Amino acid sequence: MTRVGVVTFPGSLDDRDARRAITLAGHTAVALWHKDHDLQSVDAVVLPGGFSYGDYLRCGAIAAKSPIVGDIVEAIGKGLPVLGICNGFQILMEAGVLPGGLIRNDHGQFICRDQELIVENTATRWTAGFDQGQRITIPLKNGEGGYIADDETLARVENEGLVAFRYAKVNPNGSLHDIAGLTNPTGTIVGLMPHPEHAVEPGFGPDTDLAMRSGEDGLTFFTSLALEAVLR
């Protein structure tokens, strides 16, 4: 059974939700602590959402310097799959794992809504269960989710197929090119602002045409981990 670690930082909000999503997907969830130099032999890692270290300096900036993130970055170089959700995406940016940056939403407000996304890349460890171009809906909640990059970086992101998800229908935060999530060239890393862990079981997800709160599109992120391993 795949062991998936979830790191808890001071100010983490969604670490328990991430562990539940991992369990529902049939994996073993392993709690990891930000101060430790021990990945506990996990097969993959989730950096969860929240407000690590109170979002001081910049969102994710202090967490990116924590002992365990240093170990995770080293393990990424050896192929460790990592999913960064919201604050976890910000941490991956601050650690230099994914290109570009994330700034205050262009309207200056914290936003919380169900958000439709377009799946742009299915050749990753976290998106293999989706179809190319598929539209999914998962919750979005952030104040600093606007994706930015210089022209050269944007061109590279587009030309190399590093966009994992785009916002559909409405761009909620002013992200350039409607970018909601990115991957790395090998597909082992995915970072995104919306929250798949909040859409993994009926009764607790977004509304759908079938029923209120029945959306579970987020579960595919976590089941993709096993699927992609089989496909390899």
Catalytic residue of the set 197, 198, 216, 228? 197
Measured CA to CA, the distance from residue 211 to residue 192 in angstroms comes to 26
Measured CA to CA, the distance from residue 123 to residue 185 in angstroms comes to 10
Q: Which residues pair with 30 in a beta bridge?
A: 5
Pick from 90, 102, 17: nearest CA to 60? 90
Helix axes 219-231, 15-24, angle to 10 degrees: 50
Measured CA to CA, the distance from residue 185 to residue 124 in angstroms comes to 9
59 is catalytic: no
48: tokens are 């969860």
Catalytic residue of the set 59, 86, 94, 198? 86
195 is catalytic: yes
86 is catalytic: yes
Catalytic residue of the set 34, 59, 116, 195? 195
Q: Catalytic positions, please? A: 86, 195, 197
